[in-house]
Amino acid sequence: MEPARGALHRVLGVGFGLAIIVGGAVGVGILRTPGTIAGLVQYAPLIFLAWGLAGVYALLQANNLAELAAAIPRSGGSYVFARRALGPYGGFLVGWSDWLALTVAAAYLPLAFAEYSARLLPVLAGREPQVAVGALATFVALQLAGIRSGSRAQEVVSLVKAVALLAFVAACFTVPGVSGPAPYAASAAAPATGGVTLVAFAGALQLVIGAYGGWYSAAFFGEEQTDPGRNIPRALLGGVLFVMAIYLLMNAAYLHVLPIPELAASTLPAASAMQRVFGGNSDRLVTALALVVLLGIVNALVMIAPRTLFALARDGLFFQCAASVTRGGTPAVATIVTALVAMALAFSGTFERLFALTAFLMTSVDAVNTLNVLVLRRREPGLARPYRAWGAPATTILALVASLALLVAFVAADATTALVGIVFMACSYPVYRWITRRSALTGGA
């Protein structure tokens, strides 16, 4: 039976959940940041430890989010769970932070896609903003065609991305590895610094956790899943494990062909590694790989971010028109508004400042999600929970402590950005009061 106009379609399966996580999480960061991280931690075992610990952090968060998403199968992501646990304003604050962070990413990543496109096709040089808008508009059009076409595109792009990255790993292992102990020895900076400091390792860990961003994507589509109680936990946990495996394999590939001093000095380790494997053709290969990676993220963001805006509007916390859904199952107005704001940010030149806030905002959302698990277990013990977080409440408390520790580290590393984030969240209250007052006067119109 075809769903009525105005209703989300319950047509998604666990395959889509895995695809949206791989598409939303695996980004250009794995092609660029391993060099910076190698420079910070200097030893191969510590490189693997940083990427592994960040994966464990994401897995802990996914374990808790899976309980919430299975118990409250509504589309809209963390906003939905925060509203249930903390009330309308708590939900609005989380939704406000979540939507901005995702929309800023939707502004930044199409521009990155355009820059890589110009490298591959020099005729596009100087037209990066237009290419970025064109890419974003293409994915918006794809989503407006309906949830089936949008989800199918995500599955295909994510599969191509996974195959391309695994092919990169395989290619690196076709050549002889670097000889001697170089890959496992300290970098040239080690004698001068006296070894690796805790601050340096914490800085590396923050970067790696940023590279895992997007692991939560499947939780935004609760009421569009055919069996959310089973599919979403499987997608969240399986997706994080798959992303972790890709990241560890990629780092193993880098260390196989690049000594740590060379890896640490590289601003684009994927290009350095490909130069060892393919010589002069490496630049175009890495550019093509980056484009494939970015396609999956842009499409994922165009699907994810509007779900938060849609959920806010449905509950009277945004303009009611944003709660409209097409016959194809797409929240069309929410999608268009999100895309227009992303385009405005991309052209304004201010989005880069906002982008620095995303790690702070998303980690704050992680902390609230773990808090929501504890609150709802106490307040609603009889709530049906098709999936119960493994090891809770101990693992939930551990995840909460980890999130709070990361927030403290963010403040220590960049107090200005953290202060801006706190001010931004504080500004949500007058906005919330204005929206609720207007909604009461207009009847939610």
- To which H or E segment does residue 382 belong? none
Instruction: Say whether the peptide bond before residue 393 is cis (omega within 30 degrees of 0).
Output: yes
Are 37 and 251 contacting, i.e. CB atoms less than 8 angstroms apart?
A: no
DSSP string covering 300-358, please? HHHHHHHHHHHHHHHTTSS-GGGG---TTS--HHHHHHHHHHHHHHHHHS-HHHHHTTH
Residue 360, domain CATH: 1.20.1740.10
For residue 3, is it within any domain?
A: no
Q: How many domains does the chain have?
A: 1
For residue 347, is it within any domain?
A: yes
For residue 6, is it within any domain?
A: no
Consecutive 10-residue runs of the chain (445 residues): their mean pLDDT?
Answer: 66 94 86 88 92 94 96 94 94 91 85 84 84 89 91 92 92 79 41 60 82 91 94 96 95 93 87 83 81 88 94 91 91 94 76 67 89 95 94 93 86 80 86 83 56
Helix then strand then coil, % of the chain, to nearest 5: 80, 0, 20
Are 392 and 67 contacting, i.e. CB atoms less than 8 angstroms apart?
A: yes
Distance CA 305, CA 223 (A): 16
CA-atom Rg of the chain in angstroms: 22
> Is the CA virtual torsion 120, 123, 128, 129 positive or negative?
negative
Distance CA 321, CA 358 (A): 27
pLDDT (0 to 100) of residue 179: 55
- To which H or E segment does residue 15 belong? helix 14-25
Distance CA 185, CA 188 (A): 9
Percent of the chain topping pLDDT 90:
49
pLDDT (0 to 100) of residue 442: 64
For residue 2, is it within any domain?
A: no
For residue 1, is it within any domain?
A: no
pLDDT (0 to 100) of residue 441: 60
CB atoms within 10 A of CB 430: 9
For residue 38, is it within any domain?
A: yes
Distance CA 378, CA 86 (A): 13
Write out pLDDT tens, residues 41-53.
889 999 999 999 9
Range of the domain at 120: 14-442
Tokens of 229: 């109680």
For residue 297, is it within any domain?
A: yes
**What type of residue sits at position 315?**
D
For residue 402, is it within any domain?
A: yes
Length of the chain: 445
Reported pTM = 0.88
Are 42 and 190 contacting, i.e. CB atoms less than 8 angstroms apart?
A: yes
Write out pLDDT tens, residues 86-134.
999 999 999 988 998 888 888 888 888 888 888 888 888 888 888 888 8
First-to-last alpha carbon distance for the chain, in angstroms, is: 30
Report the candidate in 355, 308, 316, 353 with the shortest Cα–Cα distance to residue 335.
308
The neighbouring-strand residues paired with 221 are 75
pLDDT (0 to 100) of residue 437: 84
Tokens of 121: 């096709």
